[in-house]
């Protein structure tokens, strides 16, 4: 008898692990957020197992039922619609109930948007805080951002496309213009990273209709976290390349190439952004 917490892909089906497939094939019952959604995943991998729904609306009642099955000696897997169960998805309640009854919990690690979005952000990964979803009501959202304002660790947030403009505007007002990275459609065909300052991300979505699944990563409140990343300040990228041993001319050439710019345009951009960068430094 064991409760398996099985991570499933967040887009690309190849991200499921061999262990996850073996567990799903071997358990007696699979509890999932949306049985139709999970059925498609199981069909894709040729797995035929009984499924039962386990979502935020029936979590409490279902927890008791599933614990009973576990106590009868059955093995149960929990999967969410995407990614790792328990990460902004149901699982916590049943994990707690199972621990209290002495049931073995077996985590099956795998995809989670928080990790994929963080590691590709270009922001410090040594210490991060997973914020999950901010409250949807403006007052509560602002209050939560205020609480996070002094946090030094990199912040990782989940956000829905219809709320990203408000979130970026509020984060910009509360935190100031920090570096950030927005990961869109991770592991999917149209995966995209929008990196820059919060105001640059805001400008991007003022001009582009937000679509798809989004993970927002924001630099923490640490002076060295303000170091610009690739699509941030080109002048700083050039400085870093020079520190790495390139002469100024080659550094500008390389920075221009990494952004798909001509050397002339890169130079112009450096002149335009330099005053802002110096302001940020003091
Ligand atoms: N359990 C999931 C995990 O492990 O990442 C998260 C589930 S939560 C209900 C869904 C949110 O995760 C989305 O609104 C989005 O913010 C983020 N997310 C999920 N898949 C994503 C993807 N492919 N690209 C970017 N963000 C994603």
Q: What's the gap in Å between 189 CA and the centre of ligand 1?
A: 15
**Mean pLDDT score, 171-181:** 96
Nearest to 67 by CA among 136, 133, 164, 1: 1
Tens of pLDDT, residues 203-226: 999 999 999 999 999 999 986 554
Class of domain 114-225: alpha beta
Q: What's the gap in Å between 14 CA and the centre of ligand 1?
A: 17
Least confident of 23-37, 224-238, 254-268: 224-238
Q: What's the gap in Å between 254 CA and the centre of ligand 1?
A: 34
pLDDT-derived band of residue 227, with 50, 70 and 90 as boundaries? very low
The pLDDT value recorded for residue 257 is 83
Least confident of 37-46, 188-197, 249-258, 267-276: 267-276
Domain ranges of the chain: 2-111, 114-225, 234-281
End-to-end CA distance of the chain: 60
d(CA 39, CA 47): 9
Q: Is the pLDDT of residue 251 over 60?
A: yes
Q: Is the pLDDT of residue 91 over 60?
A: yes
Atom of ligand 1 nearest to the CA of 117: 25
pTM for this model (two decimals): 0.83
Fold of 2-111: Cobalt-precorrin-4 Transmethylase; domain 1 (3.40.1010)
The pLDDT value recorded for residue 224 is 54
Q: Is the CB of 185 under 6 A from ligand 1?
A: yes
Q: Is the pLDDT of residue 282 over 70?
A: no
Q: Is the pLDDT of residue 242 over 90?
A: no
Nearest to 82 by CA among 175, 209, 213: 213
**Mutation probe of ligand 1 site: the residue of 41, 187, 215 with most atoms within 8 A of C-beta:** 215
**Mean per-residue pLDDT of the chain:** 91
d(CA 115, CA 128): 10
């Amino acid at each position: 008898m064991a409760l398996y917490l099985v991570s499933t892909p967040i887009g690309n089906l190849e991200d499921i692990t061999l262990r996850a497939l073996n567990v799903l094939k071997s358990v007696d019952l699979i509890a999932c957020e949306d049985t139709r959604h999970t059925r498609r995943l199981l069909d894709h991998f040729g797995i035929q197992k009984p499924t039962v729904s386990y979502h935020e609306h029936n979590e409490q009642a279902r927890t008791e039922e599933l614990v009973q099955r576990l106590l009868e000696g059955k093995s149960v897997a929990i999967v969410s619609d995407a990614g790792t169960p328990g990460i902004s998805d149901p699982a916590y309640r049943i994990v707690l109930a199972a621990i209290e009854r002495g049931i073995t919990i077996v985590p099956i690690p795998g995809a989670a948007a928080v990790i994929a979005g963080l590691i590709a952000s270009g922001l410090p990964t040594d210490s991060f805080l997973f914020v999950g979803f901010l409250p949807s009501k403006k007052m509560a959202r602002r209050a939560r951002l205020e609480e996070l304002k002094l946090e030094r660790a990199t912040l990782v947030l989940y956000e829905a496309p219809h709320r990203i403009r408000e979130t970026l505007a509020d984060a910009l007002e509360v935190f100031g213009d920090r570096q950030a990275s927005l990961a869109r459609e991770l592991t999917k065909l149209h995966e995209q990273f929008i990196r820059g300052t919060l105001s640059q991300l805001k400008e991007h979505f003022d001009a582009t209709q937000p679509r798809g699944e989004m993970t927002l990563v924001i630099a923490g409140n640490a002076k060295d976290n303000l170091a610009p990343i690739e699509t941030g300040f080109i002048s700083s990228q050039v400085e870093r390349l020079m520190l790495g041993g390139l002469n100024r001319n080659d550094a500008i050439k390389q920075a221009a190439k990494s952004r798909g710019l001509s050397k002339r345009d890169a130079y112009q951009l450096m002149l335009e952004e330099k005053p802002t960068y110096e302001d940020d430094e003091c």
